[in-house]
């Protein structure tokens, strides 16, 4: 999912912590963190690490501040270059585990 202000993320983290979670690592697809959201989330002390894809410019900016980044450009390029990949085609996971991607 996407982290914007981090409010829902921190609420969930507190619930997990209160339920006994020993370690919390947040992972997301898009790290938006507008304004002081990154500072508020990291200052909460709730997370051992926060990891995101590099799909949003703000995530790339925050790498030097401690955000873990997972590059996705190669994944997209490989998918688009694979046999049977046509513009507008959307491959889906198949229930039997025989995915086309």
Q: How far apart are CA 53 and CA 74, in angstroms?
A: 12
Hey, what domains does the chain have and what are their CATH numbers? Answer: 2-81 (3.40.50.2020)
pLDDT of 61: 95
In tens, the pLDDT along 25-45 reads: 999 999 999 999 999 999 999
95 vs 27 pLDDT, higher one:
27
Q: What is the pTM of this model?
A: 0.77
Rg (the chain; Cα; Å)? 17
Can you give the three-state secondary structure of 63-90, one letter per residue?
HHHCCEEECCHHHHHHHHHCCCCCCCCC
In tens, the pLDDT along 32-87 reads: 999 999 999 999 999 999 999 999 999 999 999 999 999 999 988 888 887 765 66
pLDDT of 92: 55
Three-state SS at 8 = helix
């Amino acid at each position: 999912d996407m982290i914007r202000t981090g409010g829902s993320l921190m609420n969930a983290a507190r619930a997990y912590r209160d339920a006994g979670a020993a370690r919390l690592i947040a992972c997301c697809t898009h790290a938006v963190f507008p304004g002081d959201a990154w500072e508020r989330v990291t200052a909460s002390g709730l997370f051992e690490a926060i990891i995101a894809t590099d799909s949003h410019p703000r995530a790339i900016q925050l790498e030097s501040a401690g955000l873990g980044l997972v590059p996705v450009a190669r994944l997209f390029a490989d998918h688009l270059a694979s046999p049977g990949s046509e513009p507008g085609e959307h491959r889906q996971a198949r229930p039997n585990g025989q995915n086309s991607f």
